[in-house]
Amino acid sequence: MKYQRPKGTADILPGESEKWQFVEQKARELFKKFRYQEMRTPIFENFEVFSRTSGETSDIVTKEMYDFFDKGERHITLRPEGTAGVVRSYVENKLYGPEIARPFKTYYIGPMFRYERPQSGRLREFHQIGVEAFGVDNPTLDVEVIAMAIELLKGFGLNSLKLALNTLGDQETRAAYRQALVDYLEPFEGELSDDSKERLHKNPLRVLDSKDEGDQKIVANAPSILDYLTDEAKVHFDTVKSLLDALGIEYTVDSNMVRGLDYYNHTIFEIMSDSKAFNGKWTTVCAGGRYNGLVEQLGGPETPGIGFGLGVERLLLILDAEKEAWKLNNDLDVYVVGIGEATNTESLKLVMSLRQQGLSAERDYLSKKPKSQFKQASKLHAAYTLTIGETELVNKKANLKNMATGEEVSVALADIYHDFKQLIK
Ligand code: ATP
Ligand code: MG
């Protein structure tokens, strides 16, 4: 029997994993500057954490959940997204407490699971880098979160990006808009897709998010939520726009944009790329928005919140397509060439010592001939080789070669053990 990885999953192999580390490292560095701290929440949660928050009629809940009953009959879900778990944890650990500064700013990096039809940039196990900020309703924070997402993507050298912006307003806005939308859509009810028919009365805003082309044509002429904003919601949105202007961040307002999750209100945004990785088709890499009310939904006190999630696989697709070569540092500092069985112990001691001194070191374990050991050293892009044969062993010396210049010197083993870096200064 041949085993294969489950459909929609990927093995991240050496050569590829360095790219992941690079991306994650850059994100961590940026978040640190914005003073976001990492949270690591469970990869599975109780089913209700997601069913209550993502929305009963959302794709995530109706079609995409990896849920099961465990041996104790608990209804468990592999997390389809990061926010709900973070909010659950925020409430459970009382991170809204008086001694905790607001906004409470946090980020996460990790796998998410959705039962979807796998294709390029769409997997069943995928990864997100996400941030959340709690406790502040000020639109300045909305703009900072958006700006941070853009900085992150620009930091990878991505420039052809589009920021799509919209507002879902407050509850009053949505109630008024919902009615207007239903009034508009009802005459088309017979023409809508089955999913949209179902959503028309349960959750009409979801119809705007339909991927069905027929639905999209109908939706194109739907009333705009921007005409239903309350004064307060309008001020919030106008402030977001003028602060984006102040930072020189370009955006397009897309009044038909809703998100795949039901918990959003006020500001929502998507950052899209038309990279050749997606055949030039504008594809969302990063998406987020404000979710005032979500903390209460999971049993916490009234607390505004805002965040985004960025798809790591999609980012890597872009980087692979746009960047000729990745500058990833996996080069070797020192390769120890041991000639003859007798040098085995000393070679082992040398690589161990070099590693303890903070260098990367490699040797041969297969009793290979010197020539193929040197070949291996060049293949690994070793900066230096240290060669030790039986004569050197007796003299307590080794040959140090700078691979870039070809320069070779004899050095005392004692000096290598004492301070190798001094020798290569
Ligand atoms: P889509 O409309 O593409 O299905 P979504 O609205 O479901 O996206 P979000 O839940 O907002 O996506 O997730 C944020 C980001 O996570 C997406 O922009 C994308 O980069 C990534 N993402 C979402 N689902 C997947 C998936 N199945 N495989 C890979 N990446 C994904
Ligand atoms: Mg989706």
Structural domains in the chain, CATH included, are: 17-170+230-325 (3.30.930.10), 334-424 (3.40.50.800)
Distances (CA, A) of 358 to 17, 353, 409: 22, 9, 22
Ligand 1 within 6 A of CB of 144: no
Name the residue of 66, 81, 108, 112 whose CB sits within 8 Å of the most ligand 1 atoms, as the mutation to test its pocket: 112
Angle at 317 between CA 316 and CA 323, to 5 degrees: 80
Q: How far is residue 392's CA from residue 347's CA, in Å, rounded to a whole number? A: 12
Global pTM reads 0.92
Distance 179 CA to ligand 1 centre (A): 29
**Which pLDDT tens digits describe the chain residue by residue (425 residues)?**
799 999 999 999 998 999 999 999 999 999 999 999 999 999 999 999 999 998 887 888 889 999 999 999 999 999 999 999 999 999 999 999 999 999 999 999 999 999 999 999 999 999 999 999 999 999 999 999 999 999 999 999 888 899 999 999 999 999 999 999 999 999 999 999 999 999 898 889 989 988 899 999 999 999 999 999 999 999 999 999 999 999 999 999 999 998 877 889 999 999 999 999 999 899 999 999 999 999 999 999 999 999 999 999 999 999 999 876 666 777 899 999 999 999 999 999 999 999 999 999 999 999 999 999 999 999 999 999 999 999 999 999 999 999 999 999 999 999 999 999 999 98
Angle at 210 between CA 207 and CA 214, to 5 degrees: 100
Ligand 1 within 6 A of CB of 206: no
Burial of 410 (0-12, 13-18, 19+ CB in 10 A): exposed
Burial of 254 (0-12, 13-18, 19+ CB in 10 A): middle
Ligand 1 within 6 A of CB of 314: yes
Residue 403 gets which letter from DSSP?
T
Ligand 1 within 6 A of CB of 123: yes
Q: Which protein residue has the closest C-alpha to ligand 1 atom 6? A: 260
